[in-house]
Structure 1
C-alpha cells in the first residue's frame, strides 16, 4: 500500500491553473524585504550582520516564482538555509541568519500546492535535510525541535489541503459540464430527428405528386434543401460545444412553449409565466436551454427564497437575442447570496456553450433575479 501511494504521488502532475504573478506577490516581496532590512539594521544580536542581511533581502524575490518553479525555489531557499547551518557546524557563530528568513516556509506551502508529485518528493527531501542540519547546528532543546518540524509539517499540510480542495472543486465542475453536454447530446438527437423526419415527409410527398404535378417535385426539393441547410447549421453549432461522447436516453425536450406548464396559482409562491405569442422559430438547442434555465431558476427560488409570495418568469425577444428573466420577491438567504452552487454553475456553463450570457444575484428591492440572454440564430 505504501509503495503504491508513493508511486501515485510520484506520477502526480502539477496542479492546474497556477495563477500568474499578481499584485499581492509584489506586496509580499516588498514587505519581506523591508522587514529583513530593518531587522538587519536595528537588531543588536545579528551574527555576520551584512552577510545575513544581504541573504535575507536577496532571497525574497524568489517568492515571485514559487508557483511556476516551486522545486527550484525550494532548492534555492532551503539550500541557502542548509549552507548557513553548515557554516555554523564548521565553527561559525550560532544562529547565522535573520529570524525573518522564516518566510521561506511559504515555499514549502507552494511546493505542495502547485508542484508535481516528483517535485514534491524531491523538494520535501531537500527541506528535511536542511531542517535536520539547522536543528543540529542550533539545537536548544526538544521543544524547539518539535516546534520547528511541526511548523514545517503545518506548511506542507496547508498546501496539500488547498490542493485537494481545488482538485475536488475542479472535478465537480467537470462533472457539471459533462452533465450539460449529455443534455445537449440528447437535444442534438432530437433536432436531427425532427429535421430528418421533415425531409422524409417532403421527399415522400414530392415523389407522390411528381406524376400529377411535376412542379411539386421541385417545390419539395426546395423545402428539403432548406431543411437540410438548417440541420447542418444546427448540428455544427451543437457539435462545436460537445467535446466528449456520452450515452444518453433520448427523449423529447421541452421548450419555450412549455414554460406555461410551470405556472401555478397555489400553493404560495404563485408562479407567473409570460411568453410572447409571436416568437419566431428558435434553434432547438436554444429552445430547450431556455426551458431548462427557467426550470432551474424556479427550483432555486422555491428552495431558497424565504417568505416569497410570487415568482415571475418572463421571456422576450429582440435584436437577435432571446431574454429570460426570472425573479422572486422573497427575503435573501445569506447562504444563497454567498454560495455559487452547482445548479448556477450548470446554468452558466450551458448558456456560455450556446454563446449567451447569464447574470444571477439579489435585486436592490429584495428577492433574487436570474437574467439570461441567448442568440436566436445558430452560429455557423
Structure 2
C-alpha cells in the first residue's frame, strides 16, 4: 500500500520538482518501515536520512516543491525508535532526527508557528511511544511475577502433598524391614499400607498434572476438593506410629476455604516433619482452636531434641511460612519448652483466596 501511494503521488502530483529522484527517495522508506521493530535505529537512519537529503537538495538547488505526503511515514519510524529501540539507539536516533528536523525547517523557511507546531508534533509522538513502552514493560514484569508466583505455589503443593506420602512410604518400608524377620504376618499389613500411600500419591500427582495441562475452561474436569480441618482425623489415622492426636476446639463453620485448606496443609507438613525427624517420638498432638477472628494451629511432638544449634529450615518450613504469610497470618517453629518440636500458626478466619 505504501509503494502504491508513493508511486501515485509521485506521478500525479502537480508542480513536483525532480520527480524521479524524489519518488525514489520516498520509496527508500519501504525497507525502513519493514525494519522498524527489529532494527529501529537503522530504519530511522534510512528513512530520516532520505528526508535529510531532500532538505539538502532544497537548500542547494532551490528547485521548488520537493516534498511528498508519503514522507510523513518517517513519523512512524521515530515512534518505533522510542518504542522498541535500546537506550543507546534512542539517544543516537533522536539526535539524528533533531538535526534533520531543524534542517528541514530551515530549508523550507518555516515560520515560528510552523516550527513550533512541528516540534510539538514530534514531542507528542515521542511521549506516546514512551507511554506505550512503559505499559509494555509493566505488563511483562507483571507476567514474570505471575509466573514466579505460580512456580512457587506449584513447588509448595508438590512438597506438601507428594513429600508427605513419600515420607509415609519410607517410614512404612523401614518398619517392614524390622518386622519382616520376626513377624512375617505383619509384613503384609506394611506392604498394604505402602501400596495405599503409593496409590494416593499417584492419584494426587495425576490430579495436579490435569490441572496444569487443562487449557479450555469449557472442558475443565471435575477436580477433587481441597482437604480441610474435617480431614485431619483421617490424616491422623493414616499414621499409626507415632500416635497422632487431633483436637478441634471452637466453631469452624464460617472458616474461609483458603484458610481451611492452609491449616490442613500446615498440619500435614508438620506431621511429616515429626515422623521423619523427631527422634524417639511416640506422640504427635495437633491442636486447632478458634481465638476470636483468628485460628491457632499447634503441632507438637514428644521427640528428643539433640544438643547443638537448631537445624537450618528447609523447603517444608519455607513453604509453610509462605502459606501463612499469603493469608495474612504468621508461623513459628522451634524446640518446645518441654522437649520435642513445636509448630504454631495463626491465621485470620476471614482471609481471602
TM-score of Structure 1 vs Structure 2, range by shorter chain? 0.5 to 0.7
Which structure's CA Rg is the greater one?
2
User: TM-score when scaled to structure 1?
Assistant: 0.50
Q: State the shift of 1:196 in Å.
A: 3.1
Aligned match of 1:52 = 22
Preserved CA contact (<8 Å) 2:51 2:100? yes
Mapped pair 1:130 → 2:100:
yes
Partner of 1:256: helix, strand, or coil?
coil
Tell me if structure 2 keeps the 8 A contact 1:56–1:97: no
Cα separation, partners in 2 of 1:188 and 1:37, compared to 1, 3 Å: same
Conservation of the 8 A alpha-carbon contact between 1:110 and 1:159: yes
Task: Say which of 231, 249, 256 aligns to 2:224.
Answer: 256
Q: Which one of 116, 122, 125 corresponds to residue 86 of structure 2?
A: 116
Matched-pair contact (CA < 8 Å) for 2:28–2:46: no
Q: Determine the C-alpha separation between the residues in 2 that align with 1:86 and 1:230.
A: 80
Check if 1:195 corresponds to 2:165: yes
- Of 59, 76, 80, the match for 2:46: 76
Paired residues for 1:215-234 under 5 Å? 216-217=186-187, 220=190
Matches within 5 A, 1:145-160: 145-160=115-130
Distance 2:181 2:26 in 1: 95
Indicate how the Cα distance of structure 1 residues 211 and 125 shifts in structure 2: closer, same or farther if over 3 A, else same.
same
Aligned mates of 1:258, 1:80 — CA distance in 2: 66
Give the equivalent residue in structure 1 for 2:36. Answer: 66
Q: Which sits farther off after the overlay, 163-172 or 200-209?
A: 200-209
Taking structure 2 as the reference length, the TM-score comes to 0.54
Matching residue of 1:163: 133
**Cα–Cα, structure 1 residues 228 and 116, in superposed 2: closer, same or farther, change >3 Å?**
farther
Preserved CA contact (<8 Å) 2:29 2:73? no
Residues 32 and 44, structure 2, Cα contact 8 Å, conserved in 1: no
- Consecutive unaligned residues in structure 1, runs of 5 or more: 1-29, 242-254, 262-290, 296-380
| Separation (CA, whole Å) in 1 of partners of 2:143 and 2:7 | 45
**Preserved contact between residue 75 and residue 126 of structure 1 (Cα < 8 Å):** yes
Aligned-partner Cα distance in 2 for 1:113–1:212: 76
Aligned to 1:41: 11
C-alpha distance in structure 1 between counterparts of 2:114 and 2:128, whole Å: 21
> Could you report, residue by residue, the CA deviation over 1:59-115 in whole angstroms, capped at 9, with x for unpaired residues?
223211111111101000111111111122223324423122111110011111111
